[in-house]
């Protein structure tokens, strides 16, 4: 069976996915978000999975989803 949502785009390092979490491993370096443990295999599961499931998106995020079941409607910014 074909997956319903196809992930498109790329990370713009905006940090929106981490800002509300008060994560001790998150820092802004200039205008770019930086995760001190991004490549660590022990980082939280929610971090490993983001952004695999819609509609978890943010206006500044470079990722978006295409709904492959319903006329290829674009799914982005928390709306389906």
For 13-48, what is each residue's pLDDT tens digit?
Answer: 888 888 767 788 889 999 899 989 888 888 888 888
What is the count of structural domains for the chain? 1
Instruction: Count Cα atoms within 13 angstroms, Cβ side, for 21.
Output: 13
Establish if 69 belongs to a structural domain: yes
pLDDT at 30: 92
Closest CA to 6 of 58, 76, 60: 76
Q: Which domain holds residue 36?
A: 5-75
Closest CA to 49 of 1, 17, 9, 3: 17
Establish if 32 belongs to a structural domain: yes
11: left (phi over 0), alpha (psi -120 to 50) or beta: beta
Statement: residue 70 has pLDDT above 70: yes
> Which percentage of the chain shows pLDDT scores above 70?
79
């Amino acid at each position: 069976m074909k997956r319903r949502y196809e992930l498109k785009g790329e990370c713009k390092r905006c940090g929106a996915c981490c800002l509300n979490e008060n994560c001790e491993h998150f820092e802004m370096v200039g205008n770019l978000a930086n995760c001190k443990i991004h490549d660590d295999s022990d980082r939280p599961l929610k971090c490993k999975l983001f952004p695999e499931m819609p509609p978890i998106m943010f206006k500044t995020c470079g990722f978006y989803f295409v709904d492959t079941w319903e006329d290829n409607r674009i799914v982005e910014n928390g709306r389906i």
